[in-house]
Structure 1
């Protein structure tokens, strides 16, 4: 049974699809809806948005099942291409059903290119919205630790994981856990504010590490790093070396 949060998220998704469909109805890219009445054009574009979104979501699911970690640019490229393929196929089908005509083969590459531009934009907006508007709200849960509350913003499979570290990558954070890694759109300063009560510390301008996750230290000259259970190394800048030593994480 879906809880209130699931229903709220679903309603937000529907609202976002409706808005994108309305926007495309107004601008009517490549005159795709032809001479359809306004309501017909709206159904046409909203249907294509749903087709592309479902295709992109299926692609992301398959990528996640490979067990590999893909960066946002790679995710965007693969999801937008498969989305464009699905939408192009749907346009060909709709054209055949509504007018009885087939799209000339020579026009298909151009059609796919036009569709891909829109699919890439919609996919990028979708990823941004999912990591902000649709991101789980991390309200404190009675009896939950700061780490558990923080992890609640991640997909379900990470909710029971042990939090190792958080590292900044451009506008994103890479969350290192015992169940793998995940990227979220968030500032490191905001993450550390949420993790203020956790047993960890900032060790670099772009790294926060849980004390219990430090398995070893590695030093090369004046450079110090903390080794996580995953084998990843968190660099320790000179600014934070005294704090790391005081915490008993290095000699």
Structure 2
């Protein structure tokens, strides 16, 4: 059975841009913030509800705020996926999502009073609702981003990412090669020829044991006699039905048919 390509485990020092920005913790914080905003809007009688008793205003405003919070999370997630180049600028993504959610929230804010005993405003009042809703959506989006960013920073400092374990094979490097980058390991009888950024040398070890100890370096066994680090490949070409890898030191590494399919799937050749 062909062994899989070995890939290193990347340290989680920074949040991945491709990671989903919406977590259950973020949902909880956002809903709490929405409750505070809804209570405030109900207290001041926003959207023309000042004539409604304050208890009824609260009952009216809180569900709207919760609906806005969920819609805001969805639009923020959509914005992050459509504009990944701004993943390091969450404030901008939050403002964009606030603009996107304004039209549907304007309709909700205008239409909901019509189900109350006091009725609602005519459709001619819709433009006035748009401005107030835009300000509310932008403000709430900024608040949500701020709350979740602060929590993320606290979690990052409180729980530093674990340091990946050292590559065991590096302890086998001869003294003259210590600190070098391992580019390839080539089997020669009972020995292994090490191709590194500081030159070559031989050590007594089986290739299978070396491959196991090279865990942590992105690389793969490409031939029954060769293991190669991906960063060491300077060129890859195909000819006569076989692929050949050229290393940074000029060494040419044959790729056997057994491993060629896996390498193509990983985009090596």
User: What TM-score do you get using the length of structure 1 for normalisation?
Assistant: 0.46
Q: Which has the larger radius of gyration?
A: 2
